[in-house]
Amino acid sequence: DVKVTQSSRYLVKRTGEKVFLECVQDMDHENMFWYRQDPGLGLRLIYFSYDVKMKEKGDIPEGYSVSREKKERFSLILESASTNQTSMYLCASMVGRGNQPQHFGDGTRLSIL
Amino acid sequence: AQSVTQLDSQVPVFEEAPVELRCNYSSSVSVYLFWYVQYPNQGLQLLLKYLSGSTLVKGINGFEAEFNKSQTSFHLRKPSVHISDTAEYFCAVSDLSGAQKLVFGQGTRLTINP
């Protein structure tokens, strides 16, 4: 089975801090994704990466950046955390193209105080 | 661009009753369709997917969905639900161009009452 591991289940940070969320997958998938999940809004794509060092903006990239230095690891960075970035963050990975399912981690619930 | 609308934000049903969770999509091109389930405090898991062929798709845990191209719908059904089906359900689409991106609906919270 594919395993997608997010480094923290719960995280509390302060406004203005630089925050790193880490995600690791063990199936050599070329595609990795970061979403945020908010009640009533479903999942919204922040960034995705289709190869090492390659990235594309999703629907809500403002205030975020990403890093993919190795194939198995995809990091989400909040450059200067703000309270409106309090949310659940989900990482996913996928092999191939759009007819394949995405495999999700258990999520990181991030609170910005 | 695609969009997905899940018509019900919450659906309460009694145990052993049938359930239907509704999903409509909008797209200018042909799409692949997915249903995912999220149990409390977990990530999303794939329930089923429609790629092509038969419009009735069977998934895990006794769920099935029917693709209706004329109505641009992909409703999820189960003939008899259990307490363990309590979860949030998400409908999603990707287009046939091969793009990796999924577009998700807002989610439907299914609550099973004993």
For residue B54, the model assigns a pLDDT of 87
Residue B101 has pLDDT above 90, yes or no: no
For residue B2, the model assigns a pLDDT of 83
Span B1-15, average pLDDT: 93
Cβ(B69)–Cβ(B15) below 8 Å: no
Chain B positions in Cβ-Cβ contact with residue A107 (cut-off 8 Å): 42-43
For residue B83, the model assigns a pLDDT of 95
For residue A101, the model assigns a pLDDT of 87
pLDDT, tens digit, for every residue of A50-85?
999 899 999 999 999 999 999 999 999 999 999 999
Query: Could you tell me if A25 lies within 8 Å of chain B, comparing CB atoms?
Result: no
pLDDT band at B97 (very low <50, low <70, confident <90, very high): low
Strand partners, A109: A10, A88
Query: Could you tell me if A84 lies within 8 Å of chain B, comparing CB atoms?
Result: no
CB under 8 Å to B40, separation ≥6 — which residues? Answer: B86, B87
Residue B1 has pLDDT above 90, yes or no: no
Per DSSP (E only), the strands in chain B are 3-6, 10-14, 19-21, 23-26, 31-38, 44-50, 56-58, 64-68, 73-78, 87-95, 103-104, 108-113
Query: Could you tell me if A107 lies within 8 Å of chain B, comparing CB atoms?
Result: yes
Indicate yes or no: CB of B43 within 8 angstroms of CB of A101: no
